[in-house]
Structure 1
Amino acid sequence: MGRRARVSPREAGLPDGGARRRTPGLRREEVAVLAGVGVSWYQWLEQGRDITVSGQVLDSVARVLKLDEPERRHLYVLAGLNPPLVAVPQEQAPVSGSIQRLIDSWMPLPANVIDRYWNNIAYNAAATAVFDFNERWLNCLFAFFGSPIYRDRHIGWDKDAALIVAEYRAAAAEFPGDEGFAAIVDELSAEYELFAELWARGDVRPPGTRPKHVDHPVVGELSFESTQLRIPDRPDLTVVLHNAVPGTDTLSKLEWLASPEGRRAALRPVAG
């Protein structure tokens, strides 16, 4: 394994043997001992043989060989296991400037960025104008079940509620044991009886492209295709893009709503 040759005995905490050492880097036997596995087993791993392996053992090998995150994930693939999820430091910036520019360039169509818990960490002006995304409703689930404006505008809310909850269960399944999901589910279940009933069903639905219809108080009905896209270097984040359904006047309505006249009209009280 080429990576083994790039780790010196000194870096691994072993005596380097001075000039008598002929093997560059670590020997197979040394890697096996440091990782706590058998020498034959480790040799078979390097040879790509069909062997039984666990993530814990692969992590030990990755630690000894000082693999970075992409190399560690590649080791899992070579061993026939699903790559581990990438841990993102809590202090990392919520969203990069390039991603913010991406969703801003999506105007006048709505776009937002959510984290693994479906917290809205970035959104453009259209998302606020259409879906009432704001500082009060930062979590998409809480907005769906708790925001009266969102609920009144969402056409087919009752039908979509079950789909939303099933998608959230699929999202939570990617992070087993994550207490953040449990906290959100517990709070929603305590506040909204319908959510508790839907969650108890145990339905699971993977996220993807789906239709979304809104009855906006200023421009009327809007029809979208909502698509979720993962960010390769930030797998904890998802970009949600709303595209206008072809054959509808959604785009022209949003273009007007984003104009100075449309923004003024949106600020006027709605009669009724």
Structure 2
Amino acid sequence: MDRENPLGQFLRARRELVQPESVGLPAAGHRRVAGLRREEVAALAGVSTDYYVRLEQGRERHPSVQVVDALARALALEPDATAHVHELARPASGRRRPAARRERVSPNLLRMMEAWPHTPAVVLGRCLTVLAHNALGKALFDGHAYSGDLVRLVFLDRDARHFYPDWDRVAANTVAGLRAAAGADYDDPRLAEVVGELSIKSEAFRRLWARHDIRQKTHESKRFRHPLVGELTLHYESLTVNSAPGQQLVVYQAGQGSPSEEALSLLGSLTADPARLQRPRENAPDPEG
């Protein structure tokens, strides 16, 4: 986890991913570090090297908004990552951490999802656990050891690479989405549990977590290889649940008239009983421990 010096660790990770030529610097010659040197980031951001070093080392933790914006430009950060680094730079006393409590889904939201029998829908919590789903949403992810936890499904389920034909992209987006959902609250015990377990059990997760990619789950096309109906290409939209900060409603649709629409309709007919909304079952243990 990144509790001790989150801003410094973020800056260093992102600096090491930037190729010099992508920001107009020569790449020729021997470079002892991956990505940019500290002095190069400092020059691009218009701050002294000493000041930037203090930021990475955690001796300076709260740069001004102007400095953060300059660093974001120097590191070519995307909007989600820029918003994240601003959050990391804020004093801890200025952050509002919600009281720890069980995540519950609004009955009104459950009823709305239940009224979509032909549209898979799931509600995700802050750590991308499935808090609720409608019948077709359950059917889409059913049959895995970790059907109720999308992060563990990607990295710990032994059939994940078969279920997700584009596994590398899904894995990268899942970790970036987990960081975005967690925000700057690295003290969240649920997040610590997820990151701790996956860092031990999955080398791929460790590598992707160390990149500090930040990307909100918004909309995307995703391919699935479902055990009952074969390959599906579904488009999803992720919507913030304003009545429950940290929750996301994710709705999937197939292209009109596409083979995936026919497959989704078949999946619905195969799993139409029961049609009421169901809670996810407890995750089965990983056979590999």
Give yes or no for contact 2:135–2:271 (8 Å, CA) kept in 1.
no
The correspondence for 1:98, drawn from 108, 116, 119, is: 108
Distance 1:90 1:245, change over 3 A: same
- 3-state DSSP class of the match of 1:130? helix
Instruction: Summarize the Cα distance change of 1:195–1:251 in structure 2 as closer, same or farther, 3 Å threshold.
Output: same
| 2:185 corresponds to which of 150, 175, 179 | 175
Residue aligned with 1:202, SS: coil
2:154 to 124, 144, 164: 144
Aligned residue pairs, count: 180
Corresponding letter in the other structure for 1:101: R
Q: How far apart in 2 are the matches of 1:214 and 1:135?
A: 16
Structure 1 partner of 2:264: 254
Give the distance between the partners of 1:262 and 1:178, measured in 2 at CA.
38
Decide whether the 8 Å contact of 2:140 with 2:226 is kept in 1: yes
How many Å separate the matches in 2 of 1:193 and 1:110? 31
8 Å CA contact 1:128–1:134 kept in 2: the answer is no
Question: 2: distance between equivalents of 1:185 and 1:261?
Answer: 33
Instruction: Tell me which residue corresponds to 1:132.
Output: 142
- Residues 176 and 91 (structure 1), Cα distance of their counterparts in 2 relative to 1, 3 Å cut: closer
* 1:158 alignment partner in structure 2: 168
Cα distance change on mapping 1:224 and 1:95 into 2, 3 Å: same
Q: What letter matches 1:228 in structure 2?
A: S
- TM-fit CA distance, 1:214: 0.9
Instruction: Give me the whole-angstrom Cα distance separating, in 1, the residues matched to 2:241 and 2:223.
Output: 26
RMSD value over aligned CA atoms? Answer: 2.7
CA separation of 1:133 and 1:238: change in aligned 2, threshold 3 A: farther
- Higher-RCO chain (CA-CA 8 Å, sequence separation at least 6): 2
Unaligned runs of 5+ in 2: 1-93, 274-289
CA contact (8 A) 1:229 1:238 kept: yes
Q: Is residue 86–residue 235 contact of structure 1 (8 Å, CA) maintained in 2?
A: no
**TM-score, scaled to structure 1:** 0.58
Q: Could you tell me whether the CA contact under 8 Å between 1:109 and 1:127 is conserved in 2?
A: yes
Over 3 Å counting, the alpha-carbon distance change for 1:185 and 1:95 in structure 2 is: same
In the other structure, the counterpart of 1:26 is none
Question: Following TM superposition, by how much is the alpha carbon of 1:224 offset from its aligned partner in structure 2, in angstroms?
Answer: 1.0
SS of the equivalent of 1:194 reads helix
CA shift, 1:137, in A, is 3.8
Residue 98 of structure 2 is aligned to residue 87 of structure 1: yes
Secondary structure, in 3 states, of the residue corresponding to 1:190? helix
Given residue 192 of structure 2, which amino acid in structure 1 is its aligned partner?
A: A
After superposing on structure 2, the runs of 4+ consecutive aligned residues of structure 1 that deviate more than 4 Å are 83-86, 133-136, 260-263
Q: Which residue of 2 aligns with 1:118?
A: 128
AA matched with 1:131? F
**Structure 1: unaligned runs, 5 residues or longer:** 1-82, 264-272
Residue aligning to 2:78: none
Deviation sequence 1:76-97 (CA, Å, 0-9, x none): xxxxxxx9657367267x1122
1:127: how far off? 2.3
Amino acid in the other structure paired with 1:87 = P
1:216 lines up with 2:215 in the alignment: no
Mark the CA change 1:113 to 1:146 in structure 2 (over 3 Å): closer, same or farther.
Answer: same
Amino acid of the residue matched to residue 98 of structure 2?
A
Q: Secondary structure at the match of 2:175?
A: helix
